[in-house]
Structure 1
Amino acid sequence: MNGASREALSAAVERLDALTDSASVDAVTLADELAAVTALLDREVSLRRVLTDPAQPAEAKATLAQRLIGGQVSGATADLVAGVVRARWSRSRDLVDTLEELAALADLTAAQRAGALDDVEDELFRFGRIAASDHALRAALTDSAAPAAAKAELVRSLLAGRAHSTTERLIARLVSQPRGRSLESGLETVSKLAADRRNRLVAIVTSAVALTTVQQRRLGDALAKLYGRTMHLNLEVDPEVVGGVRVQVGDEVINGSVADRLDDASRRMAG
């Protein structure tokens, strides 16, 4: 997002945080209702354009939103959505992207309240790796011809009793409302939001053998010192990594493995 949309998103997140700070607001209900509004505006392009039209008075747009969803969602959700449509948006799609992000943040807030945010981060990562390695599963979850409800039910059947309820809801939403994204991209986005809740970064750490607790702590401390922020480690084992570790933080890759060093040496020799 750029310009006005970025400012509107920031303000919307602040309003969401203020709402979810109240014990009287059910963050899970808020997430589900925001997701429903997201789906509505994603389908209704003309309505979305009206609600983001800079030529329309802000209060008129808020009143329209309240009239459309009032009685179908809680007062907290209706007020939040009204506040969001009062803002100025650079693109009409940015409004829907923001509502989708707010829904995910509300779910993550519920997990944080329950002390389960670390588990949710790990489960999102593991699910992504499982789906990437199981082509039949990924095909079933991303089949554009399959009913959204069927894909969501598949996720629930796979994760029931095996993952936190927040993880289940987030993934079910990603497969039932992909909104043009790949499953991998959706999982990465939600994982980043989870990390941002704790003001930390995510590092994907690949090693030939499982790292010990001491090694994990030392690596996390070193990365935190390097990046200036607390680091959450997503760990995976790949026997093809001859030794050391390979660390990816966002788009940056730190090649510390023997295999990578051998590849570098081979390229230099070939050159």
Structure 2
Amino acid sequence: MPHLLDDIWLKPYAQAIRGRAARALAKAHDLTEGKMSLANWASAHMYYGLHRTTRGWVFREWAPHATSMWLVGDFSGWRNMPQYEVFRIPGTDVWERKFPARAFKHGGNYRLEMHWDGGHGERIPAYARYVVQDPETKLFSAQVWAPKKPYVWKNPVPPRKTQPFIYEAHVGMASEECRVATYAEFRDNVLPRIKAAGYDTVQLMAIMEHPYYGSFGYHVSSFFASSSRFGTPDELKSLVDAAHGMGLRVIM
């Protein structure tokens, strides 16, 4: 901060800059509660959401103002059922429930039915890994992504570049045809051209799920779900894996 304010053009705004920096530090402490780094806090998707375990499934959601909560979906006829109720961990804002292996199936759609003081409604879990849109209703739902054969990575991540030569791309627009292109098409048709042009890094736009395609991905609705418009999570992994095999690092 002292060196930043050595800039004569910034000195008139020193008070505002210090104020913003102080608020950023305060917010970081509020988020982490002083118990972890911001990087660890940003990896909360490894804890929250729906996850497979050795014995079945576990679901967690951070919802400080909720009074009750259920998972509803194909498995429950979209009704609140006791066996899918999620409970608050005493003394916290975290809701959790463990489920048997038979509770969810690959490809099943689900949402959260949440109640709070003065209202209730269905919500997509904040840490959903895959979200799909119904072609008729246009409504989005989280979807269980747990194929019997998980994707196996083939190539190591290329070494980090001190001065990366970056090619920015949008998967859906990477086609000569008037339609939304796919992860597989980008992998097969575009990656080789990027490599041949001498780039060492690919920056992919609009990977996080977003309801409005015309936003170019800036209207993010599910930060931990890759956009289903372009294909499945495994097809995205295949794209990234192929890029690594060509010596290309991938930024999202």
For the superposition of Structure 1 and Structure 2, which TM-score range results when normalised by the shorter chain?
under 0.3
**Larger strand percent:** 2
TM-score normalised by the chain length of structure 1: 0.25
Which one has the bigger helix percentage? 1
Structure 2 length normalisation: TM-score? 0.26
